[in-house]
Structure 1
Amino acid sequence: MQTYEITVRARSGFATPLKGDTLFGHICWQAAYDRNLFNSSIEDLLAEYERRPFIVVSSAFPKIYKGDREFYAFKKPDLPLDMIFDLTSMDKAEIIRQRKALKKRRWMIVAKTESIHSIKDLEFLDNEDLFKRAADGLPEETVREFSFNSASFIVDFSQPHNTINRLTGTTGEGMFAPYSTIQEVMFPETELAIFVGVYDPVKIDAVEEAFKRIGEFGFGRDASTGLGRFDVCDVSEVDLMKIGASSPNSCYTISPSVPQKAAFQQMFFAPFIRFGRHGDRLAKAQNPFKNPVIMADEGAVFVPNDPSIFKKPYIGTAAKGTSKVLPEAVSQGYALYIPLREEI
């Protein structure tokens, strides 16, 4: 499997988080409608998905720059705080006082060209600190305009909606009552890194084209109102193994996953329940909702029983049986990972 980094730039807010399993679903719809995209039908692409996934997609993570150096802002690992931060110099009272501030540091900063020796050596930032880091080099007017509302890298924006009753010409009650939806708005000019792993015969050029189409027509919920838009800026090959430790003993995942049974001796993760629903034409089906899938969110750390697991750049399984109206539907339970060596 070859792994690549696809850099995108957000052009709007997102009503649906850019998580790997949802991006995978969008790519599958592209393949279903355009057989020529991957020179294969979606049925053929998914035929061996349980054994050999044709593509594995990560969630999206912010990219920041300092001079000519590139950094990724990954999610903080779901490990106990004393396994992430050096707390040996603090007494219990100080640890309790600092606990809330440490939990707010949700971003793990990783240099693109350097290897991770230990998580404790890395820098962790909260939303406000990441905002300041991302603001370096941008026009002062842009920074001032965004920070006027919130000096945070990601803010929640409440978007009001009105449905007009054509008989009265106004809003009203019931289905005509005004309502609001929440969308995530990122810092202007934000670049996001999405990592994909592909097996032959899938070509990265086809994956890039799929992402361009998704960015043009919109990703996720409320795409028809202008949300979920992004541009594809760059595609480059990347080796996640080189970013990680040379002698790893654990896997740090970068998308939600369904870990394979009996493969790990220890697992640290935040549960994530995917209450999925069909998109595209099946969104209007009699039952558009999928069966819930319990996953380990990105940022999970798994300690394998067998070191041979590091021979593959991904872990996890295919999530099948998720749909009542489309029995052959499958959800991505695989995740690319960065190898770590930690005292666990």
Structure 2
Amino acid sequence: MKLYEIIIKPLSGFGTPLKGDTIFGHFCWQAAYDNSLLNGGLNKWIACYEERPFAVFSSAWPRIEDSGNFFYALKRPDIPLSRIFQQQVVERKKRFEELKENKKKKWMLVDHKLSLALDSAEYLKDGDLSKKAFNQATVDTKRIMQGESRQNFHVGFEQQHNTINRLTMTTGEGMFAPFTESAYSYYPETELAVFVLLDEDATDIERVRSAFERIGQFGFGRDASTGLGQFELGDGDEIPLPSNESPNACYALAPTVPEQHQFSDAYFTPFVRFGKHGDRLAKSDNPFKNPVVMADEGAVFVPKGRDTFDKPYIGRAVLNVSLSLPQTVVQGYTPYIPFRLEINT
């Protein structure tokens, strides 16, 4: 498999986070309507997905330019803070203050080669990442954002919804009561990178990009019909697979369902995917999928053997999640970054 980078430029807010398994689902709907996206059609590749994934998508990560170089802002690994930040302070009060500050550093910068070294990586707070986004913005955007009191990289907002009673021609109570749903937007002019592993026998990056273009035009995720989830594509090309001279751990770039008995240790935040069918199945008798417990992006897995690093992805497919469409699969795979984790003995 080959690794590619797809750059997304948000044009609106999002109601659904850009996580790898959801991106995979959107691509599958595109392939269901356009047989030319996959050689032999979607059904052929879904049938063998458990043994041979045709595409593995990462979640979307901020791409930052700093001093002429590009960096990716990834989630800080889900390992104990003591494995990342070495505290030298002896005084108890100052030690807790330092720990509190370190907890706020939720982002980790890695270079364009996706090289990860915990002891030399730069860790950022949300405000620090916003400052880097501000520095790479255009003059007009800088002028606008200078007047903002809060400059978080993610900004949540409430999306208003109304259902009109056709008898009274107004809103009312019960099912006609106005309600809101949460959504979020990125810092202006943010670029997001999605890493995708492709089986060249199944498709190529040009066809995947064409699918992404359509997704961006119609909207990604919840409330796309009201204007959320829209984006356009930037540049993107094949990139080398991340490597390390002596890796012993894997950093997950998307939510994953790890294989059983393959890892000696794991650090992760549990993430439950309460999936729901989209497109025409959204209005079926049973649009809801069975819940899937996953390890969220940023998880760290320590393999038992070196053969894990022979593949550019970890995880497994999840089957039997839908009564409406029995052949439905969930992407439990994820691209990963191999790195060296010092093991405490």
The interval holding the TM-score normalised by the smaller chain is over 0.9
The 1-side partners of 2:82 and 2:308 are apart by 27
Residue 133 of structure 2 corresponds to residue 134 of structure 1: yes
Asked if the contact 1:208/1:235 (under 8 Å) is kept, the reply is: no
Listed as ranges, the gaps of 5+ residues in structure 2 are none
Asked if the contact 1:313/1:336 (under 8 Å) is kept, the reply is: yes
Aligned to 1:78: 78
The DSSP-based 3-state class of the residue aligned with 2:87 is coil
Deviation at residue 150 of structure 1 after TM alignment: 2.4
Q: AA paired with 1:95?
A: R
Asked if the contact 1:146/1:187 (under 8 Å) is kept, the reply is: no
Residue 216 of structure 2 corresponds to residue 205 of structure 1: no
Q: Are the structure 2 counterparts of residues 199 and 137 from structure 1 closer, same or farther at C-alpha, using a change threshold of 3 Å? A: closer
State the TM-score, normalized to the length of structure 1: 0.95
Aligned to 1:120: 119
Asked if the contact 2:252/2:297 (under 8 Å) is kept, the reply is: yes
Asked if the contact 2:89/2:95 (under 8 Å) is kept, the reply is: no
Aligned to 1:334: 333
Q: AA paired with 1:259?
A: P
Q: Which moved more, 1:252-261 or 1:129-138?
A: 129-138
Deviation at residue 139 of structure 1 after TM alignment: 3.6
Asked if the contact 1:251/1:301 (under 8 Å) is kept, the reply is: yes
Q: Are the structure 2 counterparts of residues 113 and 291 from structure 1 closer, same or farther at C-alpha, using a change threshold of 3 Å? A: closer
Residue 34 of structure 2 corresponds to residue 24 of structure 1: no
Deviation at residue 292 of structure 1 after TM alignment: 0.2
Q: Which moved more, 1:197-206 or 1:94-103?
A: 94-103
Residue 297 of structure 2 corresponds to residue 302 of structure 1: no
- Cα root mean square deviation, aligned: 1.5
Q: Are the structure 2 counterparts of residues 160 and 3 from structure 1 closer, same or farther at C-alpha, using a change threshold of 3 Å? A: same
Tell me how many residue pairs correspond in the alignment. Answer: 341
The DSSP-based 3-state class of the residue aligned with 1:138 is coil
The DSSP-based 3-state class of the residue aligned with 1:133 is helix
The 2-side partners of 1:207 and 1:276 are apart by 23
Aligned to 1:7: 7
The 1-side partners of 2:301 and 2:65 are apart by 30
Asked if the contact 1:86/1:120 (under 8 Å) is kept, the reply is: no
Aligned to 2:282: 283
Aligned to 1:252: 251
Aligned to 2:263: 264
Q: Which moved more, 1:146-155 or 1:30-39?
A: 146-155
Deviations 1:294-314 (A, max 9, x none): 000000000000011101100
State the identity %. 51
Q: Which moved more, 1:322-331 or 1:297-306?
A: 322-331
Deviation at residue 162 of structure 1 after TM alignment: 2.0
Deviation at residue 141 of structure 1 after TM alignment: 4.3
Asked if the contact 2:21/2:330 (under 8 Å) is kept, the reply is: yes
Deviation at residue 89 of structure 1 after TM alignment: 4.2
State the TM-score, normalized to the length of structure 2: 0.95
Listed as ranges, the gaps of 5+ residues in structure 1 are none
Asked if the contact 2:2/2:241 (under 8 Å) is kept, the reply is: no
